[in-house]
Structure 1
């Protein structure tokens, strides 16, 4: 079925409890929208709901722009099946399919409205505000379009130089496009704080968020090319691993479509794994596992393709000996990459008095909170010595209920004091002073032992850095970590304890 004579574009938005449908006439640009509760989780039912709420006939629809914040779904598999269901519906009904995220779409609207066109290599930053949230992305001009190369941290706005520093993370914008919708503060304060002469300020206007999809879809379909487009980037993390070694990776830094092929040796003792993450802080999900022992050949060709809508094609093909010479000339030999698929650039551990949690900043500047090895957002600062290797976090806190004499906690407090006079009736351990160090005495698997508070703090830091960046790959080794404190101001004794713990771990500790 051809979409040539159709003149309606639908934009469907989907979140946990709300759905929104926009319908727009391509020729007249007239548009309308409707918000509804409890959108259907099944793709087929959800799209039928879009037609029902809008009253539009599917025979009149040229394209549907889907805006799904899939990180709200439980797993990558569910998000992918939902996306695939929307695509299959469109294919069956002769409707063009386009998928994006709400944030990505906002940035496109900013470049479209500002008519941002630059020369190859030019840089552009978009700062977008809605309610109290401030978000930002920086782009570089490549091949006639904008490509994201830096994601700025979204935090509640504060009109201070410190907030600006945290937001930019060392990036220096050359030109800024400011855009806002329903901001909950004085938007001019944001503009004045950055104080960039070469900037563009766009007035609020929700109608552009609807009608902009017309320009986006016509551009992607090749019917009305525009120079303001932003290159699509992968919204998942895909990886091909050979054992624990990563061979191919696709992540938020990769422009789509993506394709990579290579040759590997057949090692019958190893397994080739293809998997994905819904988000950096979500678990790695295995899509396909291939035992190399099932192949009788010496070499395999491995291919991974990701299209502009983030649909994958993964293929493993045996290579005959007679074809090897030609294949070697065309394809590279796949070897383990030097850095993890979603490469963390900086680790930051945040402490309050009783918990800690990890944030890491990846290569493109985006900062991500990362659950601990138990899946908790915040790790209880407890250490138990009931096993050969110390237990840290949730497991240690559970041990405290039945064997408190094996567990040490209040470590932040212990690292903040100089005197051993402090006591707590809930402690199953005792403290003493030896030379310049405060010591903790408690029961262990090997009997009563003493440990310095700096050593205990080092165990907490080491545990905080354990979470895997991607399933199947080893946790990165850190030679530096940034420490930040929340809900209290550290004294000099505590600061020195962190620096000493860093020396025990042979890593640099930066306090901020």
Structure 2
């Protein structure tokens, strides 16, 4: 036996006195739910909703999970390197540097008009050491002044009035002083640029993970100050 579907659901009139018709062709499903309400004044309210089979609901939920995972990104920091990763189609992708490696040296150079990060900055250290900042994880820790290294080509001091360390170094425009969060700001900005280039999306929240650095509480304050300048929310993993 064959059943013929009625494609139009019709009622006599709406509040405005007009005939109301609902086109069933727009519902791409096997079943629908009709909700009909009638008040004391004989005015009605009609809603028609699709009913998805359980397996369809499961697929939709999985799609939503995948969509969420695409928007997740993470930066991993070690004493000497950092790496950038994100999820795409449910798979983790680690961003490669210009040389094809998965890690970026934690170096920043200021010998050019625009700052340079990673391997290219590390190469500047040989010719122009005072223009390069490295050991960033030591510099951004709470006790940075105690970790002072006599071999550093830059100078570190402590500003009691601001309760923070200051790094003095050379730049393309001359001698400068900056707090450690300024360098973390540049690293985060660089990483966000990489992620946006790879995914086509701007991120307002990313994960931060520390490896081989001890307690994350020792670095959180510096990272949060840097992130505030980017209107970026950090989740410490």
TM-score relative to the length of structure 2:
0.67
Cα distance between partner residues in 1 of 2:188 and 2:197? 20
The equivalent residue for 1:427 is 152
- Matching of residue 481 in structure 1 with residue 213 in structure 2: no
Query: Structure 1 residue 359: deviation in Å?
Result: 1.1
Q: What is the rounded CA distance, in whole Å, between the counterparts of 1:489 and 1:511 in structure 2?
A: 13
CA contact (8 A) 1:372 1:467 kept: no
Matching of residue 413 in structure 1 with residue 138 in structure 2: yes
For residues 196 and 182 of structure 2, what CA distance do their matches in structure 1 show? 26
Matched residue, 1:356 = 82
The structure with more strand, counted as a fraction of residues: 1
Q: Where does structure 2 lack aligned partners over 5 or more consecutive residues?
A: 1-52
Question: What is the aligned length?
Answer: 182
| Structure 2 contact 97–103 (Cα < 8 Å) conserved | yes
The residue number in structure 2 matching 1:438 is 165
Question: C-alpha distance in 2, partners of 1:508/1:399?
Answer: 32
CA distance in 2, matches of 1:419, 1:122: 53
CA RMSD between the two structures: 2.9
Does the CA contact (< 8 Å) of 2:97 and 2:104 recur in 1?
yes
Unaligned runs of 5+ in 1: 1-117, 124-139, 142-147, 151-169, 172-252, 254-338
Give the aligned partner of residue 384 of structure 1: 109
SS of the aligned residue for 1:465 comes to helix
Q: Give distance in 2, aligned partners of 1:394 and 1:456.
A: 16
- After TM superposition, list the pairs within 5 Å mapping 1:192-271 onto structure 2: none
1:278-306, CA deviations, whole angstroms, 9 ceiling, x for partnerless residues?
xxxxxxxxxxxxxxxxxxxxxxxxxxxxx
User: Is 1:345 matched up with 2:71?
Assistant: yes
When residues 366 and 402 of structure 1 are mapped into structure 2, their CA distance, relative to the original with a 3 A threshold, is same
Runs of 4+ in structure 1 displaced over 3 angstroms? 372-375, 468-471
Q: Which of 180, 187, 203 lines up with 1:453 in the alignment?
A: 180
CA distance in 1, matches of 2:211, 2:195: 24
Closer, same or farther: CA 369–491 of 1 in aligned 2, 3 Å: closer
Cross-structure match for 1:397: 122
CA gap of 1:469–1:507, structure 2 versus 1, over 3 A, is closer
Please give the alpha-carbon distance, in whole angstroms, between the structure 2 residues aligned to 1:459 and 1:492: 21
In the alignment, the residues of structure 2 paired with residue 450 and residue 344 of structure 1 have an alpha-carbon distance, to the nearest angstrom, of 39
Please tell me whether Structure 1 or Structure 2 has the larger radius of gyration of its CA atoms. 2
Per-residue deviation, 1:498: 1.0
> Relative to structure 1, is the Cα distance of residues 500 and 470 closer, same or farther in structure 2, using a 3 angstrom cutoff?
closer
Q: Distance in 1 between matches of 2:219 and 2:197?
A: 33
Tell me if the contact between 2:204 and 2:231 (Cα under 8 Å) persists in the aligned partners: yes
Higher relative contact order (CA 8 A, sep 6+): 2
Q: Write the deviation string for residues 347-391 of structure 1: whole angstroms up to 9, x where unpaired.
A: 1101111111111123x4332222135533000000000011111
Q: Distance in 2 between matches of 1:373 and 1:449?
A: 28
TM-score normalised per structure 1: 0.33
| Partner-residue secondary structure (3-state), 1:442 | strand
